[in-house]
A = this chain, B = another copy of it.
Amino acid sequence: MRTSIATVCLSGGLVQKMYAAAEAGFDAIEIFEPDLIAAPQSPEEIRALASRLGLTLDLYQPFRDAEGVDESAFADVLHRAEAKFRLMQRLGIDLMLVCSNVATATVDDDEVSAGQLRRLGELAATYGIRLAYEALAWGRFVDDYRRSWRIVELADHPNVGVCLDSFHILSRGHDPKQIEEIPAEKIFFLQLADAPALSMDVLSWSRHHRLFPGEGSFDLPAFLGHVVRAGYDGPLSLEVFNDTFRQTDPVRTARQAQRSLRWLADRTADLLGEEADQHASLPRLPEMTAPEAFDFVEIKAPDTSGVEVLLEQLGFDFGGRHRSKQVRLWTWGAARIVCNDVPSASPAPRIAAVGFDVADSDPAAERAARLMAPPVHRRTYAGEQALRAFTSPDGTEVFLSHAEDWMGEFDGGVSGADGHDARIDHVNLVQPWHSFDEAVLFYTSVLSLTPQPTQEVAGPSGLVRSQVMSSPAGGVRLPLNLLPTGQPDAGQQGQAQHIALACQDIIGVVAAARERGLRPLKVPGNYYDDLVARFGLSDGLVATLRDLDLLYDRDPDGEYLHCYTETVGEVFFELVERRDRYDGYGAGNAPVRLVTQAG
């Protein structure tokens, strides 16, 4: 599989972008013209640098407003094109992207467009250059790949083919199946982009909100399946206009981009089944079944004793000290929290690592490595389990582990058989603005979790966007919270993460915890008045909820009772009881929590 990326996907100057693409293992780049124009290097220098970095220059783009024009305008087109062909020769690029006309088209006639493309192709041929004609979703007359292919067919010139772009096809809801009818040798280039489901004009959607495959809502494995069935064996190239990626470290973005293509190739091969074997260009990843339980959560700080007080109040048992590290284990049924006192850690206790229960970690770790997840190195001593771990985009370490393998390293605690059925229900991680989409791809590709629809919650300092990543049976739920953008410290400090613990009888559990000194977050009285109007609950139940500061939600499948502890450092706990098949997180109650926590 040959991978390529358009320079417009990355921030920085052209040379920086090229270094980043090479570092992330791309084979090729598409040169986005404004990047070249603004670069101080000559075309010859760019060509030589690409050669040294092992990058080929696969495409020059875009050439606009080329066809569907009257003859006098077409003379100008040929003049413009010839200057670009000479430039491409200096760069050593033999493929140019020609977009369907947006601004200057006056003739809505396939024969005219085809005739002009043919003449452009004849001129290009004298420079050894080929043209890939692409239907833009907002083209004046040509906005459908089926029409651009008809025009290319009519043009009937060996140097004129089509470029297919998943964004332009899927954003318009066009069926990609007919791609299979295009002869492979006429598909000159393939550009891939994902995007969130947004209802806005397609031009703004395209220019600001494209995403890498696996980060949005498009079914790209199905799309790529059609292209592969058509026989296309050229580069898979990413063309992603995204406001955030324009601002972030290009090396990091390029790695994320490469990860997305490796994931996409694997998913597409899986979809094609035996057919895929004919296409060696789609490498597979080691298989990974999504974990169905959290193995542990680690909280780190110079002093975690404030957290341990909360754990004891909640009902956790002390599970022992680690034999070689300043680490203590706390257990409550299947919920395991590890408190790690590290003098050099940042002062506020926070979630340093999340373990996912993976019985056989070797293939999972091999998969993560192939997806360029940065490995974590922790010192292990003789007789200790060398756990496999990777750093997620927000810096939280992700362990692929299994409690039975490592619990023996803790001594002096009570037995794990405490008769409780508690477990970790979900772990809520706050994401910095620049790594939210990257995190979605990370958990999708590395852990095979599935992104759920995003939700927005109004807090006193702005809207919080939340996206849950979950396993098929709901055993692992990982809400990722994106704080309001624009805040200087968004995601950097002061915003708490949390661990939600599920139990069967929250009313009894909270009553007992209060006896041990737990003070749940105080819920305002107005909340309970509204609860009566909203759900028609019995007076008795509302009195109990009010007395215990419990929040309540209901969906068609069940009920949800929950409450929060105070925050210690940057972490707090939630107790939850899911009744029947309730599948949410009480999002309607989140504004109450956010206002109350803000004080």
Contact = CB atoms under 8 A, between A and B. Distances in A.
Interface of A: 11-13, 16, 33-34, 36-43, 76, 79-80, 83-84, 87, 198-201, 204, 208, 243-244, 246-247, 433-434, 458, 460-463, 484-490, 492, 522, 524-527, 529-530, 532-534, 536, 591-592, 594-596, 598
A243 B462 contact: yes
Contact of A486 (B16, B434, B533, B591): B434
Contacts of A460: 11-13, 16
B199 A40 contact: no
A38 B461 CA distance: 14
A245 B536 CA distance: 35
Contact of A39 (B36, B247, B489, B524): B524
Given A200-B199, A246-B462, A486-B433, A37 B526 contact: yes
A306 to B, nearest CB: 24
A247 B36 CA distance: 38
B461 A13 contact: no
Contact of A13 (B36, B199, B200, B598): B598
A38 B527 contact: yes
A34, A486, A530 pick with most chain B CB within 10 angstroms: A486
A244 B462 CA distance: 7
22 contacts: A12-B460, A13-B598, A16-B460, A34-B458, A37-B524, A37-B530, A37-B591, A38-B524, A38-B591, A42-B525, A79-B533, A79-B536, A80-B533, A80-B534, A84-B533, A208-B463, A243-B462, A246-B484, A247-B462, A247-B487, A433-B486, A488-B492
B83 A529 contact: yes
Nearest to A33: B530
A212 B204 CA distance: 23
B36 A461 contact: no
Given A204-B200, A460-B11, A534-B80, A244 B40 contact: no
B79 A522 contact: no
A486 B492 CA distance: 12
B247 A461 contact: yes
Contacts of A526: 36-39, 42-43
A41, A485, A492, A532 pick with most chain B CB within 10 angstroms: A485
Contacts of A598: 12-13
A79, A87, A201, A529 pick with most chain B CB within 10 angstroms: A529
Given A37-B591, A39-B524, A83-B529, 4 more contacts: A39-B526, A80-B534, A247-B486, A433-B486
A34 B591 contact: yes
A595 B38 contact: yes
Contacts of A486: 244, 247, 433-434, 485-486, 490
A595 B533 contact: no
A76 B532 CA distance: 12
B524 A11 contact: no
Nearest to A87: B529
A11, A79, A591 pick with most chain B CB within 10 angstroms: A11
B200 A596 contact: no
A277 to B, nearest CB: 43
Contacts of A43: 526
A200, A247, A490 pick with most chain B CB within 10 angstroms: A247
Nearest to A536: B79
A206 to B, nearest CB: 13
Nearest to A485: B486
A433 B40 CA distance: 30
7 closest A-B pairs by CB:
A200-B200, A83-B533, A199-B201, A38-B595, A247-B462, A40-B524, A246-B462
Contacts of A487: 247
Nearest to A522: B40
Nearest to A38: B595
A475 B258 CA distance: 51
Nearest to A530: B37
A37, A42, A246, A461 pick with most chain B CB within 10 angstroms: A37
A207 B448 CA distance: 33
A247 B79 contact: no
B200 A246 contact: no
Nearest to A528: B37
Contacts of A33: 530
A489 B488 CA distance: 7
B484 A243 contact: yes
A510 B33 CA distance: 29
Contacts of A13: 460, 595, 598
A288 B595 CA distance: 43
A246 B463 contact: yes
A598 B17 CA distance: 14
A534 B87 CA distance: 13
A79 B434 CA distance: 46
A253 to B, nearest CB: 12
